[in-house]
Amino acid sequence: MSSAPSATSGLFGLFTNRRINTKVMLGFALVLALTAVLAVMSYRGFSKVSDGFQTFNQRVGVVGMAREIERGFVGYRRLVREYSLTGSEAEMQEAKKRQPALAQAIQQALAETKNPERHHKLVELDQAFKKYGADFDKLIALRQGQDRLVREVLDPLGAKSRVEIEEMQALSMTKSGNSNSLVLAGEALKQLLLVRLNVNKLLGRHEQSSADGAEKALAALKQAMAAFSASIVDPEVRTLFADVNANVEKYSEAYHQVPRTTPMRSNCSATAR
């Protein structure tokens, strides 16, 4: 029973018998050791907090980039659709201007996204966006070809055919006085106007009903022209009719060569969040 107090007394005695400066140094060393231990523990704790904040900031940043990509693509898709409907050069140029910036934003999001599921969605988005851009380039080529055909062939032929049918109508009345020829020429003029109206609606709105209307009017126009041809008795009227009939055939051929462009629909959705 006396050995334990003796050992304790010995330890305290060892410390008690030291000189004052030695005691101070030992105490200071003990404080430094405790401080070092606390510093290490605090550093580890702060490192964990810092890592947590970095992970949080990275996730917030990825969500922010996904939202920016989504907003950017909505605007880009709107411009593409407007161009497909109107053929506006300004809309096309603005869409092409936004395309590289949007592609770069997707690549940046790919590089910074660590979550496997979100990364996979971004990969799919990147592939879909590249396909959409390639389709847009095809749309531009088709639309420009369509506009050139309308400007250089359809509009001039349609206008010329209208003038010539009106001349043919007046000439047939003067030369032959046949009221039936006058009626047939009037029917041909009516069907020509319906053809042009439906063709323009088709090219502007891409509606099947307009295509059906154009085909129906073309058939009726050719029928009226054939009936008018059978009623011709004057050589001058026959000559004018031959020119009109050739222009109607050219118009029909050109119309069927026009690319049937339709507004682009995207399967892309910026949902990689």
Could you report the per-residue pLDDT of 1-26, keeping only the tens digit for each?
444 554 445 545 545 555 665 655 65
Q: Residue 73: pLDDT band by 50, 70, 90 thresholds?
A: confident
The pLDDT assigned to 122 comes to: 81
User: Tell me: the pLDDT tens digits for 23-48?
Assistant: 556 555 565 655 655 555 554 544 44
Residue 217 clears pLDDT 90, i.e. is over it? yes
Residues sharing a CB contact under 8 Å with residue 211, sequence separation 6 or more, in sequence order: 198, 202, 260
pLDDT (average), residues 98-116: 86
pLDDT cut 90: percent of the chain above it:
27
**pLDDT the model gives residue 177:** 64
Distances 41 to 32, 36, 45, 72 between C-alpha atoms, Å:
14, 9, 6, 46
pTM of the model: 0.62
pLDDT above 50: residue 268: no
Please provide the average confidence, as pLDDT, over all residues in the chain.
77
149/235 Cα distance (integer angstroms): 33
pLDDT for 60: 53
In the three-class reduction of DSSP (H, G, I as helix; E, B as strand; rest coil), residue 161 is classed as helix
